Structure 1
């Protein structure tokens, strides 16, 4: 790999600087070159080559790429040039990766919201972007994210590896159901663009794009699914469960469709994965891939059989505490350091550097998590899995070579918790409760929660829960759910356990039940992502 490419795919490290004075010829030539190389690139052969790259080399390549993106952005991005000037940073003095780690981080507040899109773009040229997406607004006001041909093709190469080397789409006729939201959001259009290119390359993949339309999804799956050897459902996890549940009610036999799940938008518990695998007769390791994706920078990382195996063997309270200092189980994914270089700052604050439409250098996305080197993952497999990582992956999956890429673990947004009597109540805790065998057939798994105070200033935790179609809200079910939630909180959350033991009945959450599709809290199609935490009722 030479210094002009990021590896492992034939993509430039940064967009070439336009020398002609006009943005159109440079962008047009770059697009033509990248597409030509993609259609002649053998993705299946590349998977074996990726497996031969040692972990230390991936780290070195990632560090070199991060430093290069910094210097290019310092010279070519007007907003970043001004940002460095304000922080009294001379980019010429940043000589190595150690210097790089001392640079000020950027975020939406101190950088992105302070400058117009034009100044945030490469060479101050917004028009070189070929698409613009909008963030979902899950952490505030929506933001526009331009992206060019490099990010588009980067995503395509990654999806080619996932679909063909993990899901076997190179040799099986595949119905790909794009159930991500379409329109201005990143998930649906980015997925469509990538998978369409892969299909046009000659793979036996047929794409349908129902987006968030549940009726259309069920109709096309029922009619077209049996005509293919497998069906890949691309969706947000809560919506994927809606699709499976509703399909069962309509008589769809998911077990006969050889289901695969390409998921994104948020994490989920392993019990959720097992439940969906059971309903669809799927393999929880081989047939699921969760993507860590954002509008900010497209794909940051994705699950592999290795990352799923690691996550499942550390899914005990003691192991979670030992590894993360937390009782929650984060998403665990692998990533290419040459595309997204991750660092940790402060208290488990994830930073990454990426050469995307808006170049991001040590960018604080607002997620909490960390990095696990590949060598440490192998030690975890030996210690907790009683075997080598290679053997554990082979036992659970037949999806090909093991990549020595680093792992990133993600808890999610740092501000998606509810604080109750000083205890952090995490969405993952309530998700686990609603997956309990005693209640999971009565509720959809969707909920919202908030904390507020009553007229006497006593704090209270309220959890709104959505019932399935067949179930009517009742006092009896409310009491059952409250008991299950309290039990699960005490099991998974020691902070809450302390509160409950000291506050007794005052620590009991208020559970409110709503019919499926309730207009206030659970309206379908109201947004791209379901929000687990909401503001108190007015």
Structure 2
């Protein structure tokens, strides 16, 4: 038995012995914990998810030994699914959590040697504990974030903005309109909450005047966490730029995309993860299953379905030379666990063809001249022959046929199915007003 599976088996046995809710689930499924001896046995275990854990059981029954213990922090999920889940951090673990985040930030941005202002623009309740940075928490107030940079930016070597892509877009555009010269500041962006379109990365880099070809250029990177499992479970960096460059190369080349991912008109998020922290599976429907491995996790979860879809990525050796020619440091990727996360798998239909919101996001950001005219909020609907999309424009921009045609042409780059496009004034759109930045946006009319 390999060492990694010993860790998985230990996590399973600990959870089966010490978590009342998991004992009940195994009993109902007729599973005897001592019968789980190998990886095949483990993969036969029942899948857990929000509805048969957090919705069904009191929170203490999901904890080790059926007790909350002395908690230092509670992280709440978005509630987007209709069920709230919770991530618990013991009080004694809080200093180690802060140290872990600061070490990660230092690996990425050298925050321990460069005075850094970190502005947390994530929705209220999502904290980024740090002692290495000066921390400002604005939640989803773009004017506050801009005011902070205008007042304090010159006093720091660098600024780190943390937030959802469309919100960070709003912050940068608002700052530009108020005279903030983003290129005079060294600004990094960490994007969370939902998948980052590769064209959105390019658009944000443009607003920040980042030349991504420079070795020490500021970073726009993506991170994926799950409240009940932990922050930064899946990440693009470290290694410093390798995964970003891989995704960018696949995004630009249909041939490379086909060789590595098997095709597709757009590239899903590419991440790595720490196999000592979590065990990752994808089931037959490509649903992501995560098992927590740390013995200090207060709410350990086994084969937990997050609601996301994806797959493992294995780069064929025969493709490495072409990737290297495209600027990808393939030597940094060898041995890394790589996965795609393609969203939740939700889509609408144009007749029999699927239309994914992730593809539309790529389209909205493809042209900077068009991207600055939209909030990047949109709503998709199915049709018997053609899908329909409504696109929200920024305040002061009025819809017209020329804009509709321009956005339709961009969408056609990433969506093969026919789509009718209608741009709508900001106030008339009806969805995605400023308050909605506090919640995950619903892109599908059909849901």
TM-score by length of 2: 0.87
Q: Deviations over 1:359-387 (max 9, x none)?
A: 111111111112236xx487654343338
Residue 263 of structure 1 and its aligned partner are, at CA, apart by 1.4
Give 2:381's aligned residue. 450
> Equivalent residues in 2 for 1:470-481 (5 A)?
470-481=396-407
Cα distance change, pair 120–95 in 1 and its aligned pair in 2 (3 A): same
Q: Does 1:382 align with 2:321?
A: yes
Equivalent pair of 1:443/1:465 in contact (CA under 8 Å): yes
Residue 441 of structure 2 aligns to a residue in which SS?
coil
Give the structure 2 partner of residue 317 of structure 1.
254
1:514 aligned to which of 425, 431, 434: 425
C-alpha displacement of 1:176? 0.8
Instruction: Look up the match of 2:387.
Output: 461
| Deviation sequence 1:209-240 (CA, Å, 0-9, x none) | 11111111111110101111111111111111
Q: Are the structure 2 counterparts of residues 388 and 475 from structure 1 closer, same or farther at C-alpha, using a change threshold of 3 Å? A: closer
Change (3 A) 1:301 1:346: same
Instruction: Decide whether the 8 Å contact of 1:309 with 1:392 is kept in 2.
Output: no
Describe the shift of the 1:155–1:428 C-alpha distance in structure 2 as closer, same or farther (beyond 3 A): farther
Q: What residue is the counterpart of 2:119 in the other structure?
A: 177
The alignment status of 1:126 with 2:68, answered yes or no, reads: yes
Once the two structures are overlaid, the 10-residue window that deviates more, 346-355 or 275-284, is: 275-284
Is 2:339 aligned against 1:408?
Answer: yes
Taking the aligned partners of 2:375 and 2:290, their CA distance within structure 1 comes to 35
Query: Which whole-Å CA distance do the structure 2 matches of 1:64 and 1:150 have between them?
Result: 26
The answer to whether structure 1 residue 302 and structure 2 residue 235 are counterparts is yes
Question: Is the partner of 2:103 in helix, strand or coil?
Answer: helix
1:336 to 269, 274, 299: 274
CA distance 1:150–1:80, change in 2 (3 Å): farther
Which has a greater percent of helix?
A: 1
RMSD: 2.8
Quick one: distance in 2 between partners of 1:323 and 1:274?
Answer: 22
Query: Take 1:420 and 1:152, find their aligned partners in 2: how far apart are those partners?
Result: 49
Point out where structure 2 has 5 or more consecutive residues left out of the alignment. none
Encode CA deviations 1:425-458: one digit per residue, 9 max, x unaligned.
1112211221232522322322222236xxxxx5
Q: How many Å separate the matches in 2 of 1:481 and 1:102?
A: 46
Query: Do the aligned residues in 1 keep the contact of 2:242 with 2:330 (CA within 8 Å)?
Result: no
- 1:493 Cα deviation after fit: 3.5
Aligned length: 433
Structure 2 matches for 1:218-297, cutoff 5 A?
218-284=146-212, 287-297=219-229
Distance 1:228 1:403 in 2: 36
Partners in 2 of 1:332 and 1:346 — Cα distance? 20
SS at match of 2:341: strand
The answer on 1:421 being equivalent to 2:351 is yes
The residue number in structure 2 matching 1:14 is: none
Residues 282 and 311, structure 2, Cα contact 8 Å, conserved in 1: yes
Q: Secondary structure at the match of 1:72?
A: helix
Give the TM-score, by structure 1 length.
Answer: 0.74
Q: Is the 8 A contact 1:348 1:368 kept in 2?
A: yes
- The C-alpha deviation readout for 1:234-284, integer Å capped at 9, x for no partner, is 111111111111111111000011111111112223222122112212254
Give the number of the structure whose alpha-carbon radius of gyration is greater.
1
Following TM superposition, by how much is the alpha carbon of 1:407 offset from its aligned partner in structure 2, in angstroms? Answer: 1.8
Alpha-carbon distance in structure 2 between the residues aligned to 1:259 and 1:100: 44
Show structure 1 runs of 5+ residues with no match.
1-58, 200-204, 394-401, 453-457, 497-506
Deviation at 1:155, TM superposition (A): 4.9
**1:268 and 1:250 mapped to 2: Cα distance?**
26
